[in-house]
Structure 1
Amino acid sequence: MRYELLGPLRVRHAQECFSLSAPKMEMMLAALLIGSDRVITKQQLVTELWGDRPPRRASAAVHVYISQLRKFLATAGDPEGRAIVTKPAGYLLRREGAGHDVDEFKDAMRQGRAQHASGRLEEALHSFDRALSLIRGPALDGLAEGPVLTSFATWAEEERLECLELSVEARTALGRHREVISLLNTLIAQHPLRETFYRQLMLVLYRSERQAEALQVYRSAQRVLRSELGLEPHRSLRRLHQAILTSDRLLDLPAAS
């Protein structure tokens, strides 16, 4: 049995994949899964499902959803009904060895960061690619209302973006900078206020003998940041701009030892 939360929530068992069609049930299972092996109170579940505007019979609705979730999990690999445990204060989801894509993502990121820091770039790139392969889409897309689900969705997106940044860094350091130009253009269009992507695109364009385009990326970043935030680019971006203007040799790819 394996829970997957990095995309539309689903449960896998053997070769089968099980999904929930009811959004409230999906939200409840997500909340229990995020807090797995810890008691989630009934009030916490009410907040996650309805925010600060719960229906009058919210507590009864939670009880019904829990019953339906138990039936769903029974078909998805928990036939004995042991996964969801009722406690005096609320409910607890026991993983008991079940797989979880979030755990696998965290492990891959942890390994990738350590490998990157120690200069093992090929290994790091493999770890980052493995982490990215686990992401099937936005986590809890459009479902998060309460603090637990909202916080998780924010964390998942931030980790995805950091993983992409680190993957680009590793490829660039390995001399594979031309591979990431298209990706970086897409990421800038999607996240126009994230300066890291501008910096990375400027560097890879410069190393691809496209100095004029690299300078144009800086002007674009400057225009967007001024317009949206009333700010100038961060000093790291400004330093890179100056280095490109002067063709600073420090920007060249280090020669292999």
Structure 2
Amino acid sequence: MHGPVFGVLGPLQASVNGCRVAVPAGKQRILLATLLLGANEVVSLDELTERLWDDAPPRRPRAALHTYVTRLRQTLERHGRQAGGLIRTSAAGYLIEIGRTDLDLVRFRALVAEAKAAGRRGDLAAESAGLAEALSLWRGPVLPDVRSDSLHRDVVPSLTEERLRALDRRHEVDLALGRHDRLVGELRALTARHPLHEGFWRHLMLALYRCGRPAEALEAYGRASACLRDRLGVPPGREMRDLHAAILRGEPAAVRQGESRV
């Protein structure tokens, strides 16, 4: 027998005893997603109401919320009696109890923490491997199949930023390990998807330079600079400008940039 397993790092997923649970679209899906994003902590009635109904709550939101909690429990219990019992009631709201291995978001954060600990010990190879394992848990944008404006406005951006920070760190570590040749393709794709993220541009420039392709590194700087000026009206930051100047001068210091944080 397998316990319940959930996923929020992509479309919402739920399985019980190895069988996928079809969570109905609408309020049940929003409710489960909200509880999972605050796993093992009480989510207040006010927050749940906002997530489920945004700015148009029903006349009796607590009663309506209780109805949806009951329905969600029943949905989970169809695949195993223990699954519905994961959702607990408190005076302040509701919570879902999740083990470390039962939710991809919990596993992601634990793996990132373990990777950072390896980095602090000086084991960069283990840090890179741990970050790669953590990032492999992401299946796409967070919860595209959960229709809650407030959820995507207030919660999803910070989760996306957690992923970008982990990616940034893995690039720094891999550059320090001399893996620049492996990064160019990935970084080209990331700069196309996130053209305002200077860290990805800087790492792409550095990877290209270390691969003996300084002209392409300078071209990348030009594209980044144009994008930042066109969209934000600002020049590249100090680190990018310093790297650009070092590459123009062909200084050995350019080869070492990006390692100062490692």
Taking structure 2 as the reference length, the TM-score comes to 0.87
Tell me the equivalent position of 2:46.
43
Shift of 1:191: 0.9
- On the 8 A contact 1:11/1:76 being kept in 2, the answer is no
Percent identity at matched positions?
37
Shift of 1:172: 1.8
Q: 1:80 to 1:245 in 2, by over 3 A?
A: closer
In structure 2, C-alpha distance between the alignment counterparts of 1:135 and 1:188, rounded to whole Å: 18
In structure 1, C-alpha distance between the alignment counterparts of 2:66 and 2:53, rounded to whole Å: 15
Of 162, 174, 184, the match for 1:159? 162
Q: Would you say how many aligned residue pairs link Structure 1 and Structure 2?
A: 253
Q: Give 3-state SS (helix, strand or coil) of 2:155's partner.
A: helix
In structure 1, C-alpha distance between the alignment counterparts of 2:111 and 2:83, rounded to whole Å: 32
Of 183, 188, 191, the match for 1:185? 188
Tell me the equivalent position of 2:115.
112
Tell me the equivalent position of 1:52.
55
Of 233, 238, 246, the match for 1:235? 238
In structure 2, C-alpha distance between the alignment counterparts of 1:225 and 1:59, rounded to whole Å: 46
Structure 2 unaligned runs (5+)? Answer: 258-262
Shift of 1:61: 3.0
More divergent stretch after superposition (163-172 vs 136-145): 136-145
Tell me the equivalent position of 1:87.
90
Structure 1 unaligned runs (5+)? Answer: none
In structure 1, C-alpha distance between the alignment counterparts of 2:188 and 2:220, rounded to whole Å: 10
More divergent stretch after superposition (115-124 vs 185-194): 115-124
- On the 8 A contact 1:188/1:197 being kept in 2, the answer is yes
- On the 8 A contact 1:49/1:145 being kept in 2, the answer is no
In structure 1, C-alpha distance between the alignment counterparts of 2:222 and 2:33, rounded to whole Å: 43
* CA deviation map 1:192-240 (0-9, x unaligned): 1111111101101111111111111111111111111111110110000
In structure 1, C-alpha distance between the alignment counterparts of 2:141 and 2:227, rounded to whole Å: 25
- On the 8 A contact 1:9/1:19 being kept in 2, the answer is no
In structure 2, C-alpha distance between the alignment counterparts of 1:202 and 1:143, rounded to whole Å: 38
Tell me the equivalent position of 1:206.
209
Shift of 1:18: 1.9
- On the 8 A contact 1:50/1:145 being kept in 2, the answer is no
Q: 1:253 to 1:39 in 2, by over 3 A?
A: closer
Q: Give 3-state SS (helix, strand or coil) of 2:15's partner.
A: strand
- On the 8 A contact 1:74/1:80 being kept in 2, the answer is yes
Tell me the equivalent position of 1:176.
179
Shift of 1:14: 3.5
Tell me the equivalent position of 2:147.
143
In structure 2, C-alpha distance between the alignment counterparts of 1:158 and 1:70, rounded to whole Å: 31
- On the 8 A contact 1:205/1:211 being kept in 2, the answer is yes
Q: 1:157 to 1:78 in 2, by over 3 A?
A: farther
- Is 1:22–2:25 an aligned residue pair? yes
Shift of 1:3: 2.2
- On the 8 A contact 2:16/2:76 being kept in 1, the answer is no
* CA deviation map 1:83-104 (0-9, x unaligned): 2233344323233677221111
- On the 8 A contact 1:46/1:58 being kept in 2, the answer is yes
Structural RMSD (CA): 2.3
Of 128, 131, 134, the match for 1:128? 131
- Whichever residue aligns with residue 237 of structure 2, its letter is H
Taking structure 1 as the reference length, the TM-score comes to 0.88
